[in-house]
Amino acid sequence: MARGGRAVSHTERAHAKLSPSSAKRWFECPGSIRLSEGIPNKSSVYADEGTAAHMLAERCLDAGFDADRFIGEFVDITAETAPTVIIQRKAHDRCFEVTDEMAEAVQVYLDFCRSFMADYDCQIEQRLDLTHLWPEQFGTGDFIAYHETNRELHVVDLKYGRGVAVDPEENPQGLSYASGAAKRYHNRGVDRVCVHIVQPRAQGGGVKTWETTVERLREFEAEFPSSPRTSLFPEAITCRHFSLPSVPTHSSSRSPDPLSTDVRKIRSPHT
């Protein structure tokens, strides 16, 4: 297995202002970008538990272990180096026990990722440059597999949550990561793109796959800027299902659709 580029530790990860992990929210509601400014990005125990599952998976993929090796031990999500991720005793509140349930869920992800390792160039926890979508944009791909002969790209995302099962089809986060991963291999070529979401604990979850095309990635890349551009305006406090406040003109008093109108032509009534 190859580790192309630089892996990103969970503790050093920063989050882009337009985080791909919350892309579905701000695609649906561009105004949420402005409304969330200044609000501290606090983690929850559920998010921390998900981070622990990701760190366990990364440790296992790196070292060739199965997840049940660590049952009864703890994942320290503040660990700075791989050897210190798994510890024998709970040292503080941000340590999570590797339970049977966590090990079983992570193993589903490990088995799926390992199905690519013999024949593909594989990358684990890789920072992806997404500046072709929006300035200073980036993300971290959980697992990426590329086959040069087949010109085939797979992007795998682990979801540990037990809530609503996430659908990979037309998923903005998956498309963002696929776009960034395809950019890494543009010199070698990509014809087939698959986005996989592994969510073992969700009802109706497991492994879900959506196959798309490079042409669809190009369309997505062209569509991407509409939401962040719309969010730059004070009117962008409503969701895409609603209209912006009316801007009276001589010809019409209809409100422009924030996703179909060039926002550079929108003028605030307050300016």
Mean pLDDT by groups of 10 residues along the chain of 271 residues: 48 55 64 67 86 97 97 96 93 96 98 98 94 87 97 97 93 94 93 97 93 95 76 54 39 36 34 37
Between strands 121-129 and 86-87, the pairing is unpaired
Pick from 236, 166, 234: nearest CA to 203: 166
Query: pLDDT at position 241, please?
Result: 45
Q: How far is the C-alpha of 20 from the C-alpha of 177, rounded, in Å? A: 8
Q: How far is the C-alpha of 102 from the C-alpha of 70, rounded, in Å? A: 10
Query: pLDDT at position 27, please?
Result: 64
Q: Helix axis angle, 100-117 relative to 45-63, nearest 10°? A: 40
> Quick one: three-class SS letters along the chain?
CCCCCCECCCCCCCCCCCCHHHHHHHHHCCHHHHHCCCCCCCCCHHHHHHHHHHHHHHHHHHHCCCHHHHCCCEEECCCCCHHHCEECCCCCCCEEECCHHHHHHHHHHHHHHHHHHCCCEEEEEEEEECCCCCCCCEEEEEEEEEECCCCEEEEEEECCCCCCCCCCCCCHHHHHHHHHHHHHCCCCCCCEEEEEEEECCCCCCEEEEEEEEHHHHHHHHHHCCHHHHHHCCCCCCCCCCCCCCCCCCCCCCCCCCCCCCCHHHCCCCCC
Neighbours of 7 (CB within 10 A): 15
Query: pLDDT at position 268, please?
Result: 33
Are 76 and 171 contacting, i.e. CB atoms less than 8 angstroms apart?
Answer: no
Pick from 251, 214, 176: nearest CA to 22: 176
Query: pLDDT at position 21, please?
Result: 65
pTM for this structure? 0.77
Query: pLDDT at position 42, please?
Result: 73
Q: How far is the C-alpha of 50 from the C-alpha of 163, rounded, in Å? A: 12
Q: How far is the C-alpha of 224 from the C-alpha of 226, rounded, in Å? A: 6
Query: pLDDT at position 83, please?
Result: 86
